[in-house]
Amino acid sequence: MTEPTDPDTLTIGQRLKFYLFTPWWRGAWFIGAIVWGVVFNVLYITGGGENETFGIVSLVPIFAFVIDGQSRARKIRQEKASKARM
């Protein structure tokens, strides 16, 4: 799937597929991020919550995913604005 010029025209299912699994490696990273978060949260909890580094490290994939999603949305908005000016 290519970058849509207007993501508002996509259905909910198409939008989820676009933002989570297009391209295929984004889906792999998304699933890996969930596993990463669960593993480090379990390590944090089983350690009695004393090693706070595990809690912080578990958030890294979430922040990376949010930043990537926002950059894609910004790119789409910029392309849409440039086409509107033409």
CA–CA distance, 26 with 56 (Å, rounded to integer): 22
Whole-model pTM? Answer: 0.61
pLDDT of residue 31: 87
Token pair recorded at residue 1: 């799937």
**Hey, is 50 helix, strand or coil?**
coil
pLDDT at 1 over 70: no
Tens digit of each residue's pLDDT (9 = 90 or more) over 29-57:
888 888 888 888 888 788 776 777 777 77
Domains in the chain: boundaries: 54-86
Helix and strand numbers, DSSP H then E, in the chain: 4, 0
